[in-house]
Chain A
Amino acid sequence: MNAALDNILSHYRRFAASADYAGLPDSQQTAAAALHRLPLPTRRDESWRYTPLPAVLEHPFQPIALEDDLLTPDDVEQLRLTPADSPRVVMLNGFFIPELSTIPDDGSVEILPLNAALRDLSSDAFTRIGQLSGTRQHLFTALNTASLGEGVYVRVSAGTVLAKPLEVLHVSISFESEFIAQPRLLVVLEAGAQATLVEQYAHLSDTLCLNNGVVEVFLEAGAQLSHPRLQHESLRTRHLSSLYLRQAAESHYQGTTLAFGGAWSRTEFHVDFSGTGAHCDLNGFYLAGDKQSHGMHVDVIHNLPNCTSRERFKGILYGNSTAVFDGNILVQADAQKTDARLSNDNLLLSRDAEINTKPRLEIYADDVQCSHGTTVGQLDPEMLFYLRARGIPHEQAVTMICMGFAGAIIATCEFETLEQCANALLVKRLSKLVGLSHQNID
């Protein structure tokens, strides 16, 4: 390993060394220990093979202190995707900001700062934290787990149906540069609970930072979670977010992740089951433009019988962007009657864009229905001509086709304001792109 990378690794190891882990959950102590053991990811690791690493490994991202008064109620008002009186958790550079959050006191949902929730050694939060994220050997997840405390614990009690969507708004804003934000969410839906969790990653300053987020979600028996997520961070940001999901019997998860921002972004999905008859629906869309790279890494383990999962991902790439889709469904020997469908479709609008797509099935049970497929295509000239022959100008025709392509995924979030926001982002980016390509031709 070269000296520069060595320095980065020891830089992150110092994070853990400087903290005192006495009285903290085992998983956190384990993560701190893992930090000293785990190497930096390299292209030799299968799951990092196509990920451009320099973007995250060339900068010694520094921990940041909570800066007061950076974020105002007006900012929250501008950014929110849920009604004003919806329960809302506001996170600033990974720090929970209770003053700007809307925490209901009607008992429908418990929202606590993680450090408070973890103080009680017998608490639900203490037992669960890191239970899922600790199972994977992942340096950045370990880094997040080792330094948690500023995150949030959300619990919806058994049988409760949340009437209003719960929003978690992650905002990056700072005068500092090269800092690391480490938002952490622990979400528990107890048996039969139903909720919508809208997550948004936004920025208010154009700073070079690494957003290293981890979300752990436990769905107890029969719980239902709808989880639309929109990532539209600054085009200088490095965004890494890992979702760890465990589903109990008959639970239902419906997730949609829409990735637009970040110079470099990587979203990981790790799913397994603790009961039978559960259904997991993972949808994702990425728009990668010039100098951007996006990665979607899906890792679903069917470890119990009679569970179903759908993994649908689509991407639009242009300029010299790169994207990675790395999806794996593992069906273990006991997981009979599994029904899993994995697909990834890509639309490449330029010659220089690059997609590395790798959908995989690994099946050890004999009575299952599984499929996987991938497509990579260009804008269909027949479609373009058809629209233009009807008077629709070239730029608008390109946008219409792309919106149609992305629309099938965006619509799965079933959350109107987020859909509108995503569509607006898409139109804005595509119209710029088509304008540019016209200039080039002239």
Chain B
Amino acid sequence: MLHINNLHVSINGKAILNGLNLDIKPGEVHALMGPNGSGKSTLSKVLAGREEYIVTAGSITYQGQDLLALAPEERAHQGIFMAFQYPVEIPGVNNTYFLHQSLNAIRKARGEPELNSLAFMRLVRDKLKALDMDESLLKRYVNTGFSGGEMKRNEILQMTLLEPRFAILDETDSGLDIDALKIVAKGVNTLRNPERAMLVITHYQRLLDYIQPDVVHVLSGGKIVMSGDKSLALELEAKGYGWIHPEWEEAA
């Protein structure tokens, strides 16, 4: 589904990713871990299409096509979804309106009929209920004045509504209490199926107690330095990143 080959990325002339390789097949959930500044968020932003990040070498192929040639909205239309680490406040834009426009844009791109307000409200209420989330989120402006937890819940709501083929969770677990964490995990687990793939970026093993990854990768210095099954995450938790690379411990 996703094939990243020798990816080099820089921003403002500073190289962040230095030859990253990653293969994700349909149905797989990959966890990406790594110390601060290793390039985890850069990877998620490049995948979603943030234009400030410059790809200096390498390629990303998604469902057989050149992902880097697509605009951010085209990637969304093709089923890519990134849950933002820092969702953006958009004052004056009603959350329901935003969700509705977003879903219809994607349905239109998929060749499905757009939903009218009534059908949309029915659908969004179902999704909220499934996630044990409160409807008050809908009446407010997009992320405006939301607490950290509310913002992340809003991201998960969007994910379950848009039903992406490939979802990236960019440190969605950071700063969440255990209840919110469970909502995030529930969102991810309900979406899991043999056609979908996910990349879960996280600092901590904690989220992986609820979302069982098929593969765990460790990103460091802009490339993947180790991959393994879910036991790798446990080992990292117990031993720290220094265990992979002794110099890090000294640096820390």
- Report which A residues bind B (CB closer than 8 A): 380-383, 385-394, 396-397, 400-401, 403-408
New A-B pairs, 15, CB < 8 Å, besides A391-B109, A393-B73, A407-B92 = A382-B88, A385-B49, A387-B98, A389-B72, A389-B73, A389-B76, A390-B105, A390-B106, A392-B101, A396-B101, A401-B93, A404-B90, A405-B91, A405-B92, A408-B91
Main secondary structure of the interface of A (DSSP, over half): helix
Q: Mark B64-85, 1 if CB is under 8 A from A, else 0.
A: 0000000111011100011010
A401 touches B90 (CB 8 A): yes
- Which of A380, A391, A403 is within 8 Å of B77, CB to CB? A391
CA distance A380 to B51 in the complex (A): 14
CA distance A389 to B164 in the complex (A): 12
A437 CB → nearest B CB, Å: 15
CA distance A380 to B109 in the complex (A): 26
Q: Mark B114-148, 1 if CB is under 8 A from A, else 0.
A: 00000000000000000000000000010000000
B102 at the interface (CB under 8 A from A): yes
A391 touches B84 (CB 8 A): no
CA distance A392 to B90 in the complex (A): 14
How many residues on chain B are close to A (CB under 8 Å)?
Answer: 29
In chain B, positions 160-184 with a C-beta closer than 8 Å to chain A are: 162
The 7 residue pairs across chains A and B that have the minimum distance between CB atoms: A404-B92, A391-B76, A404-B93, A388-B72, A390-B102, A391-B105, A386-B88
B105 touches A392 (CB 8 A): yes
Nearest residue (CB) in B for A397 is B73
B220 at the interface (CB under 8 A from A): no
A408 touches B105 (CB 8 A): no
B87 at the interface (CB under 8 A from A): yes
Question: A388 with B93: in contact, given A393-B105, A404-B141 (CB under 8 Å)?
Answer: no
Nearest residue (CB) in B for A400 is B93
- Which of B77, B87, B105 is within 8 Å of A386, CB to CB? B87
- Which of B72, B77, B105 is within 8 Å of A385, CB to CB? B72
Q: Residues of A contacting B216 with CB < 8 Å?
A: none
Nearest residue (CB) in A for B109 is A391
Q: Residues of B contacting A401 with CB < 8 Å?
A: 90, 93
B73 touches A408 (CB 8 A): no
Q: Residues of A contacting B81 with CB < 8 Å?
A: 389
Q: Residues of A contacting B224 with CB < 8 Å?
A: none
- Which of A380, A390, A393, A396 is within 8 Å of B158, CB to CB? A390
B92 touches A408 (CB 8 A): yes
B16 at the interface (CB under 8 A from A): no
B207 at the interface (CB under 8 A from A): no
CA distance A387 to B101 in the complex (A): 10
B90 touches A386 (CB 8 A): yes
CA distance A404 to B141 in the complex (A): 9
Between-chain CB contacts (< 8 Å), 22 pairs: A380-B88, A385-B48, A385-B51, A385-B72, A386-B84, A387-B102, A388-B72, A388-B73, A388-B76, A389-B72, A389-B76, A390-B98, A391-B106, A391-B109, A392-B105, A393-B105, A397-B73, A400-B101, A403-B93, A404-B90, A404-B93, A405-B92
B80 CB → nearest A CB, Å: 8
CA distance A403 to B97 in the complex (A): 12
Q: Residues of B contacting A387 with CB < 8 Å?
A: 90, 98, 102
B52 CB → nearest A CB, Å: 8
- Which of B71, B141, B162 is within 8 Å of A390, CB to CB? B162
B90 touches A388 (CB 8 A): no
Q: Residues of A contacting B75 with CB < 8 Å?
A: 389
Q: Residues of B contacting A380 with CB < 8 Å?
A: 88
A396 CB → nearest B CB, Å: 7
A389 touches B49 (CB 8 A): yes
CA distance A391 to B110 in the complex (A): 11
Q: Residues of A contacting B90 with CB < 8 Å?
A: 383, 386-387, 400-401, 404
A394 touches B73 (CB 8 A): yes
A304 CB → nearest B CB, Å: 35
CA distance A43 to B167 in the complex (A): 58
Question: A388 with B71: in contact, given A382-B88, A401-B90 (CB under 8 Å)?
Answer: yes
